[in-house]
Amino acid sequence: MHPLLDDDLARLPELLDETRAYAVRLLAGLSDRPVARTPVRRAPAPLPVEGVGAKGATEAFAERWEPGFAASPGPRYLGFVTGGATPASLAGDWLTGALDQNPTSGIDSTAPDLERETVAWLRELFGLPPEHEGTLVSGATMSNAAGLAIAREWLGERNGIPVAEQGVAALGPVTVLSGSPHSSVGKALSLLGLGRSAMRRVDLLPGREAVDVARLEEALEELGGRPAIVVANAGTVNTVDFDDLRAIAALRERYPFWLHVDAAFGAFAALSPDHAHLVDGLGEADSVCVDLHKWLNVPYSSAVQFTRRRDLQARIFANSAAAYLGPLGDDPEPVHLTPENSRRLHAVPAWFTLAAYGREGHAEIVRRDIALAALLGERIAALPAYRLLAPVRLNVVCFTLADAPERAGELVGAIIESGEAFLTPTVYDGIPALRAAFSNWRTTEADVERVAKLLERLAP
Ligand SMILES: *Cc1c(COP(=O)(O)O)cnc(C)c1O
C-alpha cells in the first residue's frame, strides 16, 4: 500500500473526527458567512504528483476552495429553489459514502430494498396511488428525461413501433404540448432525440402561468387523433402556478396522450392542507417528476421519478445483455429502470430524513416556508420601491422595482454584495424581476425580516 494511504488507514478514526469537527464549524457559521459570492474564476492547478494525505488535502481545500463557496444550505439563500440538508439527511449522506453501496441489483445486498421502501414512503407522502412505481435519479432534469423517455416508448406502443429497439427515427415527428414548461424539459427532449422543436407552447390563462385547458383541448383536437405528450406543470419556477391537473387528465377520455407532470417542488403542496388542492389529480398522471434535493431538504443529488408503466420503463433502461444482473421479471432490479447502471444509493438521505421527522416534520417545513413567502410578499408589497408581479401562491415571491424594472439585475448584484441573502434574477412576462424562493428547513421569520430590511435599504 502507498505510504500515504497506509498512514490514512491507520489514522482513519482521527481523520473522520477532524472532518466532522470541520463540518460542524462550517455549519455553525452558516448564518454568518456571506450567503453568496461574486465568483472569481480560478484556473485549475496542476495534478498533484506527490499527494499530501487526507489531512493535507482538507487543509488545501479549506484554504483554496471553501472560502469561495456559497452558504446555499443556509436560511437566507433564496435563489432558484434550493433547500438545505436536514440533520438526519446529512447523517444519512455521510453514511452513504461510508457504506458505498451500489443499488444496481439485489444479488449481493438489500440496498435496492431500502430504495424500494423509500420510494413507497415518498409515494405516500405525495398521495400517489399504488399503481405509481418509482425509482430514484439524480435530479428533476433526469426525472423529467426518464418520464419523457417512457412517454416516447408509449407513443411507439400506440403505433406498433418498439422505439427502444428501432430508434426514435422510426417514430416520426412527435408533438409535445405544454403551457409553462421548465427549461429542463427542452433539454430532455433534445437528449431523447425528440428535439426541442417538438414542444408546442399552449396559451396560458390570462395573467397566469397555468395552461388554458380549453386551448390545450383545441391543440389536441388539431392533432386529429394522433397520440401526443402533454407536460403539465405543478409549480412553475417564477410564480408557482399550477395547471388544472384533473381537467387535463379528463381530456384523456377524448384524446390519446401521455400525461407527464413536472411537480419538481410543487408536489410538496400536498403536505399543506390549505394548498393540497393545487396538486389534486397528480395521481392520474402517467409519469411524475419530483425533486428531493429541493423541498425534501436532502443533499444533492436526489430526485424521484414515478410512473404507471414500469413495463415500458424497463424496455428503455433494461441492461439485459449483462446476464449476471438477473432477468427482468415483474419487479426488475433498479439497473433495468434507471438511466445509470452503477450509482450512489440516493435513497439513504431521503430515508433518514423521513424516518427522523416523518410526514409531520416535513409538513411543518413546507407550511412554514409557505407562510414565510407570504410574509415576505406582504413586506415587499408595503415598500413603495417594489412591485409584486404575481400573488404569492406558494413558496416564491416574484417582484421587481416599481419604477425601474430594468435595474433588477443590478439589485441582485447588490444583494449578493451585501452577503445577507441570495435571490435569483428572472424575466417574468417580459419584465426583468427577482425571485425569492423558500424551501429551506432552517428559515425563520427573523430571516424574512432581515431580507425585508435589506430590500428596504437597497431600494433606489
Ligand atoms: C428545479 C426544477 C427542475 C430541474 O431540476 P434539477 O434538480 O435542477 O435537475 C425541473 N422542473 C422544475 C419545475 C424545477 O423547479
Best probe residue, ligand 1, of 184, 233, 396, 438 (max atoms within 8 Å of C-beta): 184
The C-alpha R_g of the chain, in whole angstroms, comes to 23
Which residue numbers in the chain have pLDDT < 70? 321-327
Distance 265 CA to ligand 1 centre (A): 8
Give CA–CA dist 201/203, Å, rounded.
7
pLDDT at 327: 63
Distance 268 CA to ligand 1 centre (A): 14
- One-character DSSP codes across 21-70: HHHHHHHHTTTTS-SS------PPPPPPSS--HHHHHHHHHHHHTGGG--
Q: 3-state SS string over 86-97?
A: CHHHHHHHHHHH
Give CA–CA dist 341/334, Å, rounded.
8
Distance 109 CA to ligand 1 centre (A): 31
Summarize pLDDT for 32-80 with one digit per residue, the tens: 899 998 888 889 999 999 999 999 999 999 999 999 999 999 999 999 9
pLDDT at 39: 80
Give CA–CA dist 325/106, Å, rounded.
9
Whether the link from the prior residue into 183 is cis, omega within 30° of 0, is no
Whether the link from the prior residue into 31 is cis, omega within 30° of 0, is no
pLDDT at 321: 67
Strand partners, 307: 133, 287
**How many helices (H) and strands (E) are present in the chain, helices listed first?**
14, 11
pLDDT at 83: 96
Give CA–CA dist 403/401, Å, rounded.
6
pLDDT at 325: 61
Cell numbers found for residue 343: 450509482
Q: Is any atom of ligand 1 closer than 6 Å to the C-beta of 76? A: no
pLDDT at 320: 78
Task: Name the residue with the closest Cα to ligand 1, atom 14.
Answer: 264
Q: In what side-by-side order are the strands of the sheet with 199-201? A: 133-137, 303-307, 287-291, 257-262, 228-233, 176-178, 199-201
Q: Is any atom of ligand 1 closer than 6 Å to the C-beta of 104? A: no
Question: Three-state DSSP class for 409?
Answer: helix
Q: Is the dihedral of CA 267, 269, 272, 278 positive or negative?
A: negative
